[in-house]
Amino acid sequence: MLTFLALASVVLLGIVPEQSQAIVIYTGWERHGLVGSDIRLSCSFFSWRWTSEDVTFSWTYRPDGSRDSISIFHYTSGVAYVDNKGPFRDRLEFVGNPGRRDGSILLKNLDFNDNGTFTCDAKNPPDIVGRPSSVRLLVFEKVPIQAGVITGAIIGVVLGLLVLIVVIYYLMRFLVARRVFSLSVSKHGKKKKEGSQQRQGPVPPAEPSKVKAAASEKKKQESRKDKK
Ligand SMILES: *[C@@H]1O[C@H](CO)[C@@H](O)[C@H](O)[C@H]1NC(C)=O
């Protein structure tokens, strides 16, 4: 029983002396930036222990097409060191918060040649074993062509649909208006005829031109009815 308690307390308090455990380091997977802009590359880690006073972060950079990585940043004992020779000597700023396990860096004024792989390693002594994590940086001159083409296609389709809807709308309005118009015309004509027959008993001799016109109108109406 006593041994069990002792063992349990050791396990619970996590005071297994000098035994290090693995930590897990996270960065993004891929980041895209535009020439001249700034970009934040984040790095954090997971560890079972409290964050150590001696937490360290280090970043290396491997340009695309190169085999060698160069160290560009190191944080240790509360001090941040930026490489003073490499491509990021004046363009790198530490924006992390080591107490919160954040080892992020800010790359400023991105250059077209900054394409490459950035690798972050972190240690939280005595947890010092972890696989460094890498993030790929792609720098674009403007909007990426692929994205531009896709965006253009989407805009084109949307505009096309809008035009189609407008055309259909006006076509429908035109057709409805024509039907209503023809209906009102035929009603109007009928009423006039009935009224004239009731009120005026003996129809006074109409002028020949008017009679002709009325006849032609009647013919027209009849031909329309036939068509329908
Ligand atoms: C960086 O990567 C982008 C995307 O793949 C590419 O368009 C650009 O040409 C690359 N820059 C250089 C200098 O290779």
Within-domain flag for 207: no
Kindly state whether residues 66 and 163 are assigned to the same domain: no
Burial 55-64 (b: 16+ CB within 10 A, else e): bbbbbbbbbe
Mean pLDDT of 124-148: 85
User: The domain spanning residue 131 has which CATH number?
Assistant: 2.60.40.10
Cis check for the bond before 205: say yes or no (omega within 30 of 0): no
Query: Atom of ligand 1 at shortest distance to CA of 65?
Result: 14
Note the pTM of the prediction, 2 decimals: 0.57
Kindly state whether residues 118 and 177 are assigned to the same domain: no
Instruction: Please give the share of the chain, as a percent, with pLDDT higher than 70.
Output: 69
Measured CA to CA, the distance from residue 61 to residue 135 in angstroms comes to 10
Kindly state whether residues 138 and 118 are assigned to the same domain: yes
Within-domain flag for 190: no
Mean pLDDT of 25-31: 93
Distance 13 CA to ligand 1 centre (A): 51
Cβ(48)–Cβ(14) under 8 Å? yes
Within-domain flag for 218: no
Summarize pLDDT for 65-104 with one digit per residue, the tens: 999 999 999 999 999 999 988 899 999 999 999 999 999 9
Question: Which mutation among 140, 141, 145 tests ligand 1's pocket best, with the greatest number of atoms within 8 A of CB?
Answer: 140
Residues spanned by the domain of 133:
20-144
Total domain count for the chain? 2
Within-domain flag for 210: no
Summarize pLDDT for 203-226 with one digit per residue, the tens: 555 555 555 555 555 555 655 555
Kindly state whether residues 39 and 133 are assigned to the same domain: yes
Within-domain flag for 25: yes
Q: Is residue 195 scored above 50 in pLDDT?
A: no
Mean pLDDT of the chain: 80
Element (H, E) at 93: strand 92-94
The pLDDT assigned to 60 comes to 96
Element (H, E) at 136: strand 133-140
Which range is least confidently modeled, 23-37, 107-121, 147-161, 179-193?
179-193
Kindly state whether residues 87 and 153 are assigned to the same domain: no
Query: Atom of ligand 1 at shortest distance to CA of 113?
Result: 13
Q: Is residue 196 scored above 50 in pLDDT?
A: no
The pLDDT assigned to 4 comes to 55
Kindly state whether residues 44 and 120 are assigned to the same domain: yes
Residue 112 CB less than 6 A away from ligand 1: yes
Measured CA to CA, the distance from residue 104 to residue 120 in angstroms comes to 9
Kindly state whether residues 137 and 157 are assigned to the same domain: no
Residue 139 CB less than 6 A away from ligand 1: yes
